[in-house]
Amino acid sequence: MWWITETVAGVITLSCKEAMQHHGISLSMEGIVNLQLSSKSVGVFEAFYNSVKPIQLISNNIEVAKAGKIPGGKTEIPFEFPLNTKGNKVLYETYHGVFVNIQYTLRCDLKRSLLAKDLSRNCEFMVHCQPQKAKVVPTPVKFSITPESLQNTREKSLLPRFLIRGHLDATSCVISQPLTGEVVVEKSEVPVKSIELQLVRVETCGCAEGYARDATEIQNIQIAEGDVCHGLPIPIYMVFPRLFTCPTLETTNFKVEFEINIVIVLHDDHLITENFPLKLCRV
């Protein structure tokens, strides 16, 4: 795992039974953003689909060893790459999403004579972006859910009466720290079946021609099960999964954002959802 502006360093380890002739060993580093469209959007943006090309962030190539011979046994060749961009390009943090993938790889090639195949190895390495200098001041967000506060319901009068209050300690969160808060079921006519926290990512791919925005679930965590005691605060706590989250990202070509849903399921299978957009960052 490397921070941006650091130097990627390591060793190439070659092991062979006996001495081997080769035509040079080279090592290349590459950073790419892959954009993909969801099947939902394919019909509309078919023409556009094809035009989405991977965006190259960084590319470096060095020759590690000239053509020659390596002795039998284990050989270790150290190497170093600076993690710096050329020009005005920006490096992003490693991220594996559904429609957006930011990936950094090292590729080592060993060229051999015509008769033998060239050898190559791929290896992914993680990149974390530079922590923000600015301090994040947590601002608690309170919420209160009642039948009246709900949107997109047809007949509010048919809903059972309930009052659920609570707060999130912050909506701009530090990625390495858990999301915290509290939720209190003050009253509910129908017993609660389950309360869940749903972490959703919203990926937007697009450019001048238009854009595709897709929300997908990353992680769903149950924080309450069954008819919980009324009036007793239940903690909200979620660790952001590594790899599947990254600091909120906004570029000209694509966006990666995160949201949290508090989902309350009642015993008659009513589903109440409260949505909070999150801003993730690194400190």
Contact set with other proteins (CB under 8 A): 40, 98, 191-196, 198, 200, 215-229, 232-235, 237-239, 241-242, 244, 261, 263, 265, 269, 271, 273
How far apart (Å, rounded) are the C-alpha atoms in residues 84 and 59? Answer: 10
Question: Nearer Cβ to other proteins, position 265 or 281?
Answer: 265
Question: Going by C-beta distance under 8 Å and a sequence separation of 6 or more, which residues neighbour residue 209?
Answer: 48, 51
How far apart (Å, rounded) are the C-alpha atoms in residues 164 and 184? Answer: 6
Q: How far is the CB of 226 from other proteins (least distance, A)?
A: 2
Q: How far is the CB of 254 from other proteins (least distance, A)?
A: 18
Question: Nearer Cβ to other proteins, position 141 or 263?
Answer: 263
Question: Nearer Cβ to other proteins, position 58 or 185?
Answer: 185
Q: How far is the CB of 60 from other proteins (least distance, A)?
A: 27
Q: How far is the CB of 32 from other proteins (least distance, A)?
A: 21
DSSP string, 250-267: E-SSEEEEEEEEEEEEET
Question: Nearer Cβ to other proteins, position 57 or 95?
Answer: 95
Question: Nearer Cβ to other proteins, position 108 or 280?
Answer: 280
Question: Nearer Cβ to other proteins, position 93 or 203?
Answer: 203
